Amino acid sequence: MDAGVSGRLRRREMAATTSGAGRCRLSKVGAGRRPPPARVRVAVRLRPFVDGAAGTSEPPCVRGIDSCSLEVANWRNYQETLKYQFDAFYGERSSQQDIYAGSVQPILRHLLEGQNASVLAYGPTGAGKTHTMLGSPEQPGVIPRALMDLLQLTREEGAEGRPWNLSVTMSYLEIYQEKVLDLLDPASGDLVIREDCRGNILIPGLTQKPITSFSDFERHFLPASGNRTVGATRLNQRSSRSHAVLLVKVDQQERLAPFRQREGKLYLIDLAGSEDNRRTGNQGLRLKESGAINTSLFVLGKVVDALNQGLPRVPYRDSKLTRLLQDSLGGSAHSILIANIAPERRFYLDTVSALNFAARSKEVINRPFTNESLQPPALAPVKLSQKELGPSEAKRARGPEEEDIGNPESVGAPVPATQKLSPLQKLSNMDPAMLERLLSLDRLLGSQGSQGTPLLNTPKRERMVLIKTVEEKNLEIERLKMKQKELEAKMLAQEAVDPKKENCSPTVLRPLSRRTVTVAEPLKKAVVMPLQLIQEQTASPNTEIHILKKRGLKRKLDSSDVSEPVEKAEDCWELHVSPELLAHGRQKILNLLNEGSARDLRSLQRIGQKKAQLIVGWRELHGPFSQVEDLERVEGISAKQLESFLKANILGLAAGQRCGPS
């Protein structure tokens, strides 16, 4: 591979890892190890002529070459054809089973490994996307086949005596004119798409129905499909006017220690088709719908291009569709794109444009990882007792949160005070940092002899109040920190005005790097340290003392001249910190650089969101940092920045101030 190509690939991988869900992960198996890349796989399906008359009167504009390639006539030059190669090509005689078994079935197993997967049907209007995804009762498509298999797999894997307990839930939504509508609850209105701190895409309020059998699935899915917006256009009598997204979640809980939990998400997406309104004859509402569809598909193209070019900004947020697909493109899913094309000549331009999009998409690299977390040991017995419950009781215990997350009917429903919520269910979606805080708060309450129920067993509402309290406390701490900084700044300003006063005070606070430029007689010894260190030392008397000691005066000025402020004077005071402590601080920074998530890294001074992502991206590409100085090799971090970064962080970390892996 030449250097240019490998550089491009790296940039692309970097974009894939620094954008989307992959950039900040739920605790996962093999944390610190770089998940292997998985290219978006692309299959093309050519539908047969659907209009009998057209079929006999015109030759197709596309021809299959083999199971992976096809060619399209070049109408500008009849001597030429345009050839394309994909992961799979399905000709007009291929069956629904061929497409399913060849391209979709193989990715389902990843769900049971706690990884995400997605299947997207793409193509111009009338090219067969809905047929591929949904099919008909006689020729069921990808969705019913995948659900059938997945439910079967989860039944087998979750059977008594197997190590994992499995449960499946489904949600179904459409994106219609840039609105996210819940097809399982059409009255709920436009829903918002959010991203949690781990980069997971969430839709608060979206109905989630538990399903244990295929008939369960049909019971929810069939009426919901009827809610999808379709309309007649000149090119398709039942044209999908929206992007439909079926989300199937597989949750797994380990039955024995260490009680791991896994979550795999499968997105099955039937995109609305791109439309050339000169041919669809769209007007009025249809034209408006078409505008929204084309715009979101245009943004989808821009996202794919940005990922391919390794651009620092991938415009996921420019449309609801791409925001939702953040997981699937350049993110954490095993993705397959099925580009549907039509053989009729009148589709020629749409076909070429769909094939070009498909060809670009196969360059996109995802990095799927296992969404796995460990249940805190303290909670394990509760889980065990749940195992001992009968199936109906266990279901009731999991009940409201598992079954109806986001279901408006259940949100306001009172939870009986006696009904304990299963910690396993409650914690599965919780931010690990928040969980840690809750556990400490719980311990604190316990140590203070609190009469209340333990925090982690409290019903949802009380828990929410407690979480809010913790958040408020954190805000308060942040406010105090800001105030401290202001005070320090004020103090420094005063020093500048009145240096003598400064040197008389043994408790003056100043940044470590600041040097004294005065000839006024200093005290022999002054304890000068950042406020954090003072607090730290007060809290732990064993912490080593760091002092500012007088260094030999090497003033170049006449020693008799003591009244003037000295510009060229050397420093009189310097900070002496034990080398072990410094080494300890460096080691802590190094650990954080190698093991911390982007979020952890942001807890460091001078590291913002962008730098944190660049650091994680660098690590993904080059492996662990061998020394903190390697930071200079990260794009956008200069030697000067590295120096100030070290100054700002090393002591704080050495004294155990910062959080994050150590």
Ligand X SMILES: Nc1ncnc2c1ncn2[C@@H]1O[C@H](COP(=O)(O)OP(=O)(O)OP(=O)(O)O)[C@@H](O)[C@H]1O
The sign of the CA dihedral 357, 331, 335, 595 is: positive
Rounded to a whole number of angstroms, the minimum distance from the CB of residue 90 to ligand X is 9
Rounded to a whole number of angstroms, the minimum distance from the CB of residue 129 to ligand X is 4
Of the pair 131, 320, the CB lying nearest ligand X is at 131
Of the pair 43, 590, the CB lying nearest ligand X is at 43
Of the pair 107, 293, the CB lying nearest ligand X is at 293
Which one of 130, 253, 332, 370 is in contact with ligand X (CB under 6 A)?
130
Contact range with ligand X by CB under 6 A, out of 128-136, 154-162, 525-533, 653-661: 128-136
47 binds ligand X (CB under 6 A): yes
Q: Is 339 helix (H, G, I), strand (E, B) or coil?
A: strand
Q: Is 247 helix (H, G, I), strand (E, B) or coil?
A: strand
Tokens of 483: 């105030």
- The CA distance from 553 to 567, in Å, is 14
Of the pair 50, 581, the CB lying nearest ligand X is at 50
131 binds ligand X (CB under 6 A): yes
Burial class (CB in 10 A: 0-12, 13-18, 19+), 388: exposed
Q: Are 305 and 165 in contact (CB under 8 A)?
A: no
Checking 519-526 for CB contacts under 8 A at 24+ apart, the result is 519/555, 519/557, 519/561, 519/562, 519/563, 519/564, 519/565, 519/566, 519/569, 520/562, 522/550, 522/572, 522/573, 524/550, 525/549, 525/550, 526/573
Q: What is the DSSP letter of 370?
A: -
Of the pair 126, 660, the CB lying nearest ligand X is at 126
Site string for ligand X, 314-343 (x = CB under 6 A): --------------------------x---
Rounded to a whole number of angstroms, the minimum distance from the CB of residue 353 to ligand X is 14
Contact range with ligand X by CB under 6 A, out of 44-52, 314-322, 323-331, 531-539: 44-52
- The CA distance from 400 to 396, in Å, is 8
Give the residue from 139, 132, 65, 136 showing the smallest Cα distance to 104: 132
Q: Is 126 annotated as a binding residue?
A: yes
Cα dist. 70→56, 62, 65, 341 in Å?
Answer: 21, 7, 5, 11
- The CA distance from 240 to 243, in Å, is 7
Of the pair 104, 397, the CB lying nearest ligand X is at 104
- The CA distance from 204 to 224, in Å, is 19
Which one of 25, 41, 110, 129 is in contact with ligand X (CB under 6 A)?
129
Contact range with ligand X by CB under 6 A, out of 42-50, 185-193, 391-399, 536-544: 42-50
50 binds ligand X (CB under 6 A): yes
Of the pair 56, 542, the CB lying nearest ligand X is at 56
Which one of 125, 169, 328, 407 is in contact with ligand X (CB under 6 A)?
125
Of residues 185 through 244, those in contact with ligand X by CB under 6 A are 236, 238-240
Q: How far apart are the first and last CA of the chain?
A: 38
Contact range with ligand X by CB under 6 A, out of 112-120, 122-130, 317-325, 397-405: 122-130
- The CA distance from 320 to 176, in Å, is 10
Q: Is 146 annotated as a binding residue?
A: no
Of the pair 273, 400, the CB lying nearest ligand X is at 273
Of residues 604 through 633, those in contact with ligand X by CB under 6 A are none
Q: Is 129 annotated as a binding residue?
A: yes
Rounded to a whole number of angstroms, the minimum distance from the CB of residue 273 to ligand X is 3
How do 260-270 and 116-122 pair as beta strands?
parallel
123 binds ligand X (CB under 6 A): yes
Contact range with ligand X by CB under 6 A, out of 121-129, 215-223, 373-381, 479-487: 121-129
Q: Which residues contact 567 (CB under 8 A, 6 or more apart)?
A: 517
Tokens of 157: 């894997």
Of the pair 340, 422, the CB lying nearest ligand X is at 340
Rounded to a whole number of angstroms, the minimum distance from the CB of residue 236 to ligand X is 4
Of residues 233 through 272, those in contact with ligand X by CB under 6 A are 236, 238-240, 272
Of the pair 233, 425, the CB lying nearest ligand X is at 233
Rounded to a whole number of angstroms, the minimum distance from the CB of residue 330 to ligand X is 24
Q: Is 124 annotated as a binding residue?
A: yes
Q: List beta partners, residue 574.
A: 549
Q: Are 530 and 558 in contact (CB under 8 A)?
A: no
Contact range with ligand X by CB under 6 A, out of 119-127, 145-153, 495-503, 591-599: 119-127
Which one of 15, 38, 70, 127 is in contact with ligand X (CB under 6 A)?
127
Of the pair 238, 500, the CB lying nearest ligand X is at 238
Contact range with ligand X by CB under 6 A, out of 13-21, 127-135, 470-478, 540-548: 127-135
- Which phi and psi angles does 557 have, rounded to 5°? -80, 165
Rounded to a whole number of angstroms, the minimum distance from the CB of residue 181 to ligand X is 17
601 binds ligand X (CB under 6 A): no
Count interface residues toward ligand X (CB under 6 A): 18
Q: What is the DSSP letter of 376?
A: P
Helix spans in 36-141 (H):
52-57, 96-99, 105-112, 129-133
273 binds ligand X (CB under 6 A): yes
Rounded to a whole number of angstroms, the minimum distance from the CB of residue 179 to ligand X is 18
3-state SS string over 140-193?
Answer: ECHHHHHHHHHHHHHHHHCCCCCCEEEEEEEEEEEEECCEEEECCCHHHCCCCC
Alpha carbon of residue 184 to chain centroid: 25
Rounded to a whole number of angstroms, the minimum distance from the CB of residue 274 to ligand X is 8
Q: Which residues contact 101 (CB under 8 A, 6 or more apart)?
A: none
Of the pair 239, 373, the CB lying nearest ligand X is at 239
145 binds ligand X (CB under 6 A): no
Rounded to a whole number of angstroms, the minimum distance from the CB of residue 126 to ligand X is 5
425 binds ligand X (CB under 6 A): no
368 binds ligand X (CB under 6 A): no
How do 201-202 and 194-195 pair as beta strands?
antiparallel
Of the pair 169, 340, the CB lying nearest ligand X is at 340
Which one of 22, 64, 128, 406 is in contact with ligand X (CB under 6 A)?
128
Contact range with ligand X by CB under 6 A, out of 125-133, 162-170, 246-254, 437-445: 125-133
- The CA distance from 634 to 614, in Å, is 7
Q: What is the DSSP letter of 567?
A: S
Burial class (CB in 10 A: 0-12, 13-18, 19+), 1: exposed
Rounded to a whole number of angstroms, the minimum distance from the CB of residue 125 to ligand X is 4
Q: Is 125 annotated as a binding residue?
A: yes
Rounded to a whole number of angstroms, the minimum distance from the CB of residue 123 to ligand X is 6
Q: What is the DSSP letter of 48?
A: P
Of the pair 131, 209, the CB lying nearest ligand X is at 131
Binding positions for ATP are 123-130
Residues contributing to the site for ligand X (CB under 6 A)? 47-48, 50, 123, 125-131, 236, 238-240, 272-273, 340
Binding positions are 123-130
